[in-house]
Amino acid sequence: MPLPESINLPITSVDKLKAEVFSSLSVTEMKMIAKRLRRHIISTIGKAGSGHPGGSLSAVEIVTALYFRILRHKPQDPQWSDRDRFILSKGHAAPLLYATLAECGYFPVDELPTLRQLDSRLQGHTDRTVTPGVEMSAGALGQGLSFAIGIALAGRLNSQNYRVYVLLGDGECDEGQVWEGAMSAAHFKLDNLVAIVDNNRQQIDGWNRDVMNLDPFNKKWQAFGWHVTEVDGHDLTQLTQAFNRAKLIKKQPTVIIAHTIKGKGVSFMENNPDFHGKAPTATEVEIALKELK
Amino acid sequence: MAQEVSLREAYGKTLVELGRGNPDIVVLDADLSRSTMTRFFASEFPERFFDCGIAEQNMVGIAAGLAASGKIPFASTFAVFAPGRCFDQMRMSIAQPGLNVKLVATHGGISVGQDGTSHQSIEDLALACSLPGITVIVPADAVETAQVIRAVATSYGPFYIRLCRPKSPLVYNEGYRFNLGKAVTMRQGTSATIIAIGIMVAAALEAANNLKREGINCRVLNMPTLKPIDEAAIIKAANETGAIVTAEDHLEHGGLGSAVARVVARHKPIPMEFIAINDTYAKSGTPAELLKRHGLTAKDIEQAVRSVIKRK
Ligand SMILES: Cc1ncc(C[n+]2csc(CCOP(=O)(O)OP(=O)(O)O)c2C)c(N)n1
């Protein structure tokens, strides 16, 4: 399903983005990008007939702020060794990452509708062996923070000043490995590492507090030795400020707890656990895209 | 009896030697550096050694991240904990992306001894071999261990290397050169072939010596690279000797015996016998007592050769 071009990014911004080492779009431009990403998420999952819209939609602003304001990266040179790294630990949000990478120019936007098809580079969950720009093969929750720690340690050993960003789900934080990682990142004093938790307060079986209570979440990270900030995860200004402030924190990793709404932007998906891992029907796609005009 | 030397110590010392030559070598451990012998590296290169505490899954993930950034990580713990506790991490963080991680697990098999069931890794080879893309190596003695560690450091890709706890008799002299993916003919013979790995290579040689007195001439192959296995050497042995006995300190399922039988069934069906642990857990005891209890001695191999020859 080709995307209606109703929300076109000013051509100058796109050019700027593709040409430069890192981009710095305005908040207004980023808002337009965010809407485009949401449209891609809905259309690609709708076309595939399966996938995870809820947790993709909740993290749209987090990923937009990173790729269009914060990360130093070269879409034309995905293996550039000084690039900032973005690790998507909650690999089921792959449709969001694919849409973002395509909009940045890592691969053609035309490729997005191949999501989940046989021989597509866009696998159901992220696969670093096939998709340009994808750093980690994820999908088995709980592994991304450890992987990010290894990359951060290597950066320090090599005296490279890249920064490492890893996006976790809040439900994902039920996994013991996340806390093994949390303990070790603080122990290794990794101030080049930022974890972002997409704190949409839901997982598959319902609300976190009913499935497995994470509270006091903020205090847990603090107790593990992290610098903790909390932001509105749909506010691009708050997000970029938090990412920039994290650069000033020394000898300690930073976690940004981003308060979000699962399914954000599509009325019937918001806070609705049914849309964690269910594709919208053709009619639902139509309604959703109308809402995202 | 040949001199007995520690494989773990050979591992630890070789790591130091590699570390001196290559600044990209990094080492990880999970609070077992005194047992796995990575502490030699830790004391010489503290900035390149990462003790992850008793958190093996995190260690495997960190190793993967280091490898994805161009480092050559060697990560060590006991074989029961990796692959045992870290199967999913090995699968998704290392094997699927084909990252350059060398997982060197010590305390493989029941030769661990007195520590008992929880510490005796009898499933690790089945687990490691089940992962597409991982090369699995089981050195037979300290000389081969040093050779293997040097070879994998310069061979890109994920490796699982299994070492035993006890000091083991040397089966090689210092002139030996390990050849990745190749079986080593330890002894020529035509009556039957014994294919062995790890500590069972010494037992296989002892069995072959004893059988010679009965006029049975066994070929003995060491199969240090368990996966991908040297099919040509197995087919040749099947053609030329007509019977095979495999010997390993591991469950019969999914280890050396299964891998050899797959090749034999496909290319040259001949009688086989399997010296391995038979679908059970071992308990505490000295290594020698346990190997005897579970049928993993030279005497057991001799008996298996006699019976396999009758089926030729
Ligand atoms: C180790 C593991 N266990 C279970 C799953 C199945 N699973 C996929 S998504 C998910 C819920 C994740 O919740 P959360 O991290 O909060 O993600 P979000 O709500 O942001 O989508 C589960 C249990 C998995 N992918 N990996």
Domains of chain B are 4-169 (3.40.50.970), 184-310 (3.40.50.920)
Q: What is the pTM of this model?
A: 0.95
Q: Is 60 exceeded by the pLDDT of residue A281?
A: yes
Rounded distance, CA B145 to CA B124, Å? 18
ipTM, two decimals:
0.95
Candidates A184, A187, A188, A190: best to mutate against B (most CBs of B within 10 A) is A184
> What is chain B's pLDDT, residue by residue, as a tens digit (312 residues)?
689 999 999 999 999 999 999 999 999 999 999 999 999 999 999 999 999 999 999 999 999 999 999 999 999 999 999 999 999 999 999 999 999 999 999 999 999 999 999 999 999 999 999 999 999 999 999 999 999 999 999 999 999 999 999 999 999 999 999 999 999 999 999 999 999 999 999 999 999 999 999 999 999 999 999 999 999 999 999 999 999 999 999 999 999 999 999 999 999 999 999 999 999 999 999 999 999 999 999 999 999 999 999 999
Q: How confident is the model at residue A138 (pLDDT cuts 50, 70, 90)?
A: very high
Quickly tell me which residue has 């009325």 as its tokens.
Answer: A267
Phi and psi based region of residue A150 (left: phi greater than 0; alpha: psi -120 to 50; beta: remaining): alpha
pLDDT of residue B2: 84
**Candidates B56, B206, B248, B302; catalytic one:** B56
Q: Is the dihedral of CA B140, B142, B147, B148 positive or negative?
A: positive
Q: Tell me, yes or no, whether A143 lies in a domain.
A: yes
CB B48 within 8 A of CB B66: no
- The pLDDT tens digits for B283-292 are 999 999 999 9
Query: Which parts of B37-139 fold into alpha helices (H)?
Result: 39-44, 56-68, 87-89, 124-129
In a domain, A177, yes or no: yes
The per-residue pLDDT for A3 is 35
Assess if residue A20 is contained within a domain. no
**CB-CB under 8 Å, A137 with B68:** no
In tens, the pLDDT along A115-126 reads 999 999 999 999
- Check whether A1 has a pLDDT greater than 80: no
Give the gap in angstroms from C-alpha B66 to the nearest C-alpha of chain A: 4
Task: Assess if residue A164 is contained within a domain.
Answer: yes
Q: Is the link from the previous residue into B139 a cis peptide, with omega within 30 of 0? A: no
B63/A153 touch (CB, cutoff 8 Å), yes or no: no
Note whether B96 and A129 are within 8 A (CB).
yes
Alpha-carbon separation of residue A170 from A57, A135, A228, A260, B198 (angstroms): 15, 21, 15, 10, 45
A186 neighbourhood in chain B, CB within 8 Å = none
Q: How far apart are CA A238 and CA A256, in angstroms?
A: 11
Residue A4 has what pLDDT?
36
Rounded CA-CA distance B159/B4 in Å is 26
Tell me the pLDDT tens digit for each residue of B84-121.
999 999 999 999 999 999 999 999 999 999 999 999 99
- A214, pLDDT greater than 80: yes
Q: Tell me the residue type at B51.
A: D
Report chain A's mean pLDDT, rounded to a whole number: 93
Which 8-state DSSP code applies to residue A66?
I
Q: What's the CA-to-centroid distance between A90 and ligand 1, angstroms?
A: 7
Q: Quick check: CB of A51 below 6 Å from ligand 1?
A: no
Cβ atoms < 10 Å from Cβ of B288: 12
**Does residue A14 lie within any of the structural domains?**
no
Domain count across chain A: 1
Is ligand 1 within 6 A of the CB of residue A55? yes
What Cα–Cα distance (Å) separates residue A56 from each residue in A40, A51, A59? 11, 9, 6
**Buried/exposed code over A82-121 (b: 16+ C-beta within 10 A; e: otherwise):** ebbbbbbbbbbbbbbbbbbbbbbbbbebebbbbbbeeebb
Q: Which ranges of chain A does DSSP label H, i.e. alpha helix? A: 11-19, 27-48, 53-57, 60-65, 94-104, 144-157, 176-187, 208-211, 217-223, 236-246, 282-291
Residue numbers in B near A138 (CB within 8 A): 92
Question: CA B10, CA B16: separation in Å to the nearest integer?
Answer: 10
Q: Note if B56 is an active site residue.
A: yes
Q: Cβ contacts (< 8 Å) between A147 and chain B: which residues?
A: 61-62, 64-65, 68, 93
- Please report, for the domain that includes residue A215, its CATH number: 3.40.50.970
pLDDT digits (tens, 9 = 90+) for B7-44: 999 999 999 999 999 999 999 999 999 999 999 999 99
Is A13 a member of any domain? no
Boundaries of domain holding A227: 26-291
A183 contact residues in B (CB cutoff 8 A) = 53, 55
Identify whether A17 is part of a domain: no
Residue A260 lies in a domain: yes
A164: phi then psi, degrees, rounded to nearest 5? -120, 125
Q: How far is B295 from chain A (nearest CA, A)?
A: 39
CA A247 to ligand 1 centroid distance, Å: 29
Q: Is the CB of A62 under 6 A from ligand 1?
A: no
**Residue among A129, A144, A150 minimizing CB distance to B69:** A150
